[in-house]
Every structure is written in C-alpha cells, then in structure tokens.
Structure 1
Amino acid sequence: MTSLRFVERLSDLVNGVEVILSDIWGVVHNGLESFPEACEALHTYRQRGGTVILITNAPRPADSVQRQLRKLGVADETYDAIVSSGDLTRNFVADHPGKKIFWIGPERDSSIHRGLDAVMVPLEQADYIICTGLFDDETESAEDYRAMLLQAREHRLPLVCANPDIVVERGDRLIYCAGAVAELYRELGGESIFYGKPHRPIYERAMALAAERRGQPTSLDRVLAIGDSVRTDLTGALGFGIDCLFLTRGIHSEEFEGIDQLDAASVKELFGHPPRALMRELRW
C-alpha cells in the first residue's frame, strides 16, 4: 500500500460483507447526541440483509446500554444485538461468588453489579478491584488514583477493568475512562485484567450472537468492524482477523484535520497496520 484514501459511503465497502461489528460511542453518538446519518447507514445495511452487532467498552450490561441509546434517539432497528465489556465483567464476578470487591467508578455504572453476589468493601478488605471509570470523570485523571493504586499493589489486588478505553468523547471534550486507571496500575506493577476491545473475548461473543441471528457462523473475511480508536477498535479488529473501517471524526480528529489522503509513511506512523478504509463519519 502506497496511500490510504478516504471513502464517502459505507455502501462502497459492504459488498460481500454479512456482519458489521460497530463501535457505539464515537460512531453512533458522542455521549450527548446521536448521529442520524450513522444510525441510518446501519439501519439501511440491515434492511439489505446484513447483521449489525454493536460492541462497546461501556462498563454496563447490554440492556442498560440499550436504554441509553433509546434516550439518545438511536432506534432499536439500527442494530441486531449489543455486546458490552460490562457483560463480560459481570461474568467474571459471577465466576467468583462471595469474593469481596472494591469498586472504582461513578454511581451511574452501578448496574454492572445488579443481581450478582457482589460484596462491596473498602480497599484494604478487598479480594480484587473492579474499575468501571473514575469517580468524577469531569475533573479527575488517572494520576488522582496513584496513591490508591500503590496501596492496592501492596495488597496484591487484581484490578478488573470494565472499560479498556483511555479516553472517550463527551460532546466536544475528551474524558478519561477506566482504561487510563488500569494502564497506570499496570505501569506501577499491579495486575490489570481487561474486558472489552481490543481483547478477543468481546469479539468472540459478538460473532456468536451474529451466528444466532443468521442461523450459521460467518467467515471472518465477510465481517467488517467500524470504530474511531486505534488502540481499541483497529487493534482489536486486526487482532481478531477482520477488516476495519476507521472513522476520523472521533477521538483522533485533530490528527486528521485537513487530510484527504495518507502516504505510506503517515499510515505506518498513525496506524502501524492500516485499516481497510478511512471515513470522516459514518453514512450510507
């Protein structure tokens, strides 16, 4: 490859594609409002026989994610199913019944513990940590947790990260996520366990749901991922063996401002291994 160009429409890329695995935050909404053209593109793809599985690093169960999507005006007809990192984290908790948990995260993520045998305790009494985010992501960064994480390391506590994202859009701002805390803990010598993109289990679950909807498994060469993060969406897709459509209007928007084409050196610098195509924002 000598260059990487922008494409204008999803319809130019989906010939032969049976399943789309689409990111949510940054693709169909920005945390405050939905993107109508993106929603319409996924809906149109479904009407033409494709299957859309939304895969998200949201640290909440899929039904909670669906309620948020509805509030933002994303219709249920936009997609076939949702897989969240919150679901996978809940599976971890269910597989460790009776264990004591220290929880780092905002109250809005409390649904991750709903219906589980989750015993919440102070840090010094915990068997492990679950991090769904920062207590106050409007004002805090991972550095605010350094002293707490050093204490956790001394107790040899594993940290289960329910959202591997480092940052995410909220309107026109970037806010820190659980991944920033988990990566700092790992840098400090602690054990961080990640659920969600770019790690393989979320893709395996998404493909299992796609097979249920379609009545049979889909070959990976007929699957397209869509996302706006190099670290999670692109890396996860390539690691799983599927192509990725990369949207540049999201968290990397400043790096792509004013660019219509990337030469080979720029592609390597920005992506390492390139996506299948670039698009500014999703439209049919």
Structure 2
Amino acid sequence: MRFASSTASSIIFLTATSRRRFYSASAFTVHNSFSELIHRYDAFILDQFGVMHDGVNALDGAVDCVRELYENGKTLIILSNTSAPSQAALQKLPKFGFDETHFLGAVTSGEEASKYIRQTFGSQPSSPSKALFLTWDASDVNNPRLTATPQRFLQECGHVQVASTVEEADFLLLHGSEVWYRGDSLSQKSLKRFIEEGDLTDLETILQACIDRSLPCVCANPDFVVQTPEGGQAHMPGKIAARYQELGGHTTLFGKPHKDQFLACIDRLGLEKSRVAHVGDSLHHDIAGACQAGIPSVFVTSGIHASQFGTSFGELPGIELIDQVVTQAGSAVPTHVVSAFRI
C-alpha cells in the first residue's frame, strides 16, 4: 500500500514570542488551541478515534469543542474508518457524551464496504455468497471496537452468509481482526496474538489458503493500528489486507486515506473544499487522504503518533520534533497542527 508523499521544509521563526509557528514551503501552522481555527472554516470533517474519543471515553475537551463549534454555526460530519454502518456510529455518540444532533451525519468505511458487498456479492437471493469472515468479538459487550455487531454489518451486505471453511467461501471479508467468525460464538477462532502483538502467524495458513483459491478480499477498515484506551496499540484489518496483497491477493479497501470518502463528505456538506477542514490524528490516513482530496487538514498530535512525540495528552511537541515526525511519515503535510481537539 502506498500513499502520496510530500516533504516538510526548513523551519522559520517569525518572532521569538509568537504562539503560532510557521513552516516555509509546507506552510502549516501550529496552534495551542483549536479555538484559533474555529472561524477559519465553515465546516469540519471529524475523525473519531484519537480525536473525539478512545473507544471507551470522550477525550478531554472534545465534547466541549464539538458544542462550541456547533454553537458557532459550524457544520460537522464524521469520517471514520470504523467498520460499522454510519447510523450505528452516530447512535453510539451519546455514550461518550456527544449530542448526535450536532452532526450532519457520518461517512464510515463500513458503510461504503457494505454497499460494495451488496452490489458485488449480495445481490442474488436465490444463491447467497459466502464470506470467510474476520471480525470483532461480539461476546465482549464492553469491547471498545464493537460499534455494531458483526450480524448487523452482514445484514447491510445483502444476501451474504458466513462460510465455516475456506473451501466454501466466495470471498474474504476483513471486518475486524479479533476473531474468525464461523457462524456462532462457540466455533469462532481467536486472533488474539494478532490484535495484541501484530503477529500474523495464526493467520498465514488462512490467508494462503484463500490465495490458493483466488478469493477476492474486501477490507472494511484499512487502519493498521489504533490506540487503546490503556495507551497501547491494537492491530487492525488494514494490516491483514496489506499482507494479503503481499501474498498476491486482490484486495478492495474502503475508508481513509482513499479520497472518495473525503469527497463524499464534501458532497454532503455542499461547500467548497477550501471552506472545510478535516481533523484527524493519523498522518498516513487522515492527513494523506485530506491532501489527496484537496482539503485543508488539522493534525492532532495526541493520537496515534503520541508515542513518537513522547508527550502527554494535550502537550504540544516541540517544533523540530513535529517537523521530524511529519517528514518521516512521508505521507503528507498538514495545514494546521494542534495537540488535542479542545478549546
């Protein structure tokens, strides 16, 4: 998987006491508070994990920031790599303390993937397709990655059933990365070593068997890793999709950084791109995708890249370190940088 690349330039200090710092050719600004950006744009496209919440709790200041934007007449829409349907993502917001009515809607990778599956594999009621289904563990009701149950996702996919073996599958479906679901929770196989450590050993045999049968793969969540509420990392379906591609498999992915999802948000908003900014914490997915779509972006440093900065939540990294991390990512340069999504 490759992403668009750009290189950050040398740093220019405008004044010794300036609270806002500028980079020359890359021209991105660093801000101490999101309040400095409110009146620059008419609408904001918001990432969820690492910006608004951590899957369990709202991040500090995020609820107030959403309320402030809404009260200032800004239109808000969510763009998320969650494999859940868009409506499910919106319905979960009150759990974190957000007001669902403050958002125009949501565009999720799961919603786009289910539409594709319905059209490509699930359109024939007389002959349902079968999916080798890697998904989330629905037996844990407190699972932070479980925005909607696997069964609800399958309902959105049309006439698709779950394959119990590779041999009876028509395609490989990467909805989650915790279990291989074979029809019920008792027969599902845990992928614990992968989600916790990124170890693909338990998956290699499955993936190779799918390759041998030339099964196409659909990935409903292209993320490689996400931050856990405890501050660690969980390994995601996008990493499995990348391995499947390395083995020679054909994979169709949905979500960021693909520009179609960003442009879908712009269509919903009905605004010029220059009047909209995307807020995200991943240089590879959020910032790269916004750049590809020609949309201004706000990079939140306290998210998935926090370990590279070595800063605590809400602490703004030094200018030289921001420049270094952006350059090393080699994916895109943001328009603005903030430590957290808060006023």
Q: How does 1:3-22 map to 2 (within 5 A)?
A: 3=11, 4=23, 6-22=30-46
In structure 2, the CA distance between the partners of 1:82 and 1:186, relative to structure 1 (3 Å rule), is same
Structure 2 equivalent of residue 133 of structure 1: 176
Residue 189 of structure 1: SS of its match in structure 2?
A: coil
Q: Distance in 2 between matches of 1:42 and 1:264?
A: 25
Partner of 2:302: 249
Q: Against the structure 1 CA distance between its residues 194 and 204, is the aligned structure 2 distance closer, same or farther, given a 3 Å change threshold? A: same
* 1:146 and 2:218 matched: no
Give yes or no for contact 1:137–1:177 (8 Å, CA) kept in 2. Answer: no
Kindly indicate whether residue 83 of structure 2 is the aligned counterpart of residue 59 of structure 1.
yes
Is the Cα contact below 8 Å between 1:132 and 1:178 reproduced in 2? yes
SS in 2 for 1:245: strand
Unaligned runs of 5+ in 1: 211-216
Residue of 244, 259, 275 corresponding to 1:200: 259
The letter of the residue matching 1:131 is: L
Alignment correspondent of 2:185: none
Which residue does the alignment assign to 1:28?
52
* 3-state SS of paired residue (2:51): coil
- Could you say which structure has the greater relative contact order, defined with CA pairs below 8 angstroms and 6 or more residues apart? 1
Does 2:146 align with 1:105?
A: no
What does residue 213 of structure 2 align with? 155
The alignment status of 1:280 with 2:339, answered yes or no, reads: yes
The residue aligned with 1:165 is 223
- Report the Cα distance in structure 2 between the residues aligned to 1:271 and 1:244, rounded to whole angstroms: 16
- Taking the aligned partners of 1:13 and 1:6, their CA distance within structure 2 comes to 11
CA distance in structure 1 between the aligned counterparts of 2:260 and 2:69, rounded to whole angstroms: 25
Partner of 2:14: none
Q: Distance in 2 between matches of 1:240 and 1:69?
A: 26
**Judging changes above 3 Å, is the alpha-carbon distance between structure 1 residues 36 and 270 closer, same or farther for their aligned structure 2 residues?**
same
| Structure 1 residue aligned with 2:287 | 234
Secondary structure of 2:39's aligned partner:
coil
- The match for 1:213 is none
Residue 107 of structure 1 and its aligned partner are, at CA, apart by 4.3
In 2, are the aligned partners of 1:40 and 1:78 still within 8 Å (CA)? no
Return 136-145 or 36-45, whichever deviates more: 136-145
Per the TM alignment, residue 229 of structure 1 is displaced from its structure 2 partner at its CA by 0.8
Cα-Cα RMSD: 2.0
Q: Say which structure is richer in helix.
A: 1
Range moving further from structure 2, 3-12 or 238-247: 3-12
Which position in structure 1 is the counterpart of 2:10? 2
TM-score using structure 1 length: 0.90
Aligned to 1:44: 68
Structure possessing the higher radius of gyration over alpha carbons: 2
Q: Deviations over 1:78-104 (max 9, x none)?
A: 422111111001101210223322211
- Per the TM alignment, residue 142 of structure 1 is displaced from its structure 2 partner at its CA by 5.3
CA distance in 1, matches of 2:41, 2:113: 30
Question: 5+ residue gaps in structure 2?
Answer: 1-8, 12-22, 24-28, 139-148, 180-189, 312-316
Rounded Cα–Cα distance in structure 1 between residues aligned with 2:90 and 2:322: 39
Q: Shift in Å at residue 147 of structure 1?
A: 1.3
1:94 maps to 2:135? no
What is the identity, as a one-letter code, of the residue corresponding to 1:190?
A: G
- Structure 2 counterpart of 1:114: 155
SS in 1 for 2:49: coil
**Alignment length (residue pairs):** 278
- Amino acid across the alignment from 1:165: D
Maintained 8 Å contact 2:266/2:273:
no
Contact 1:138 1:175 (8 Å CA) reproduced = no
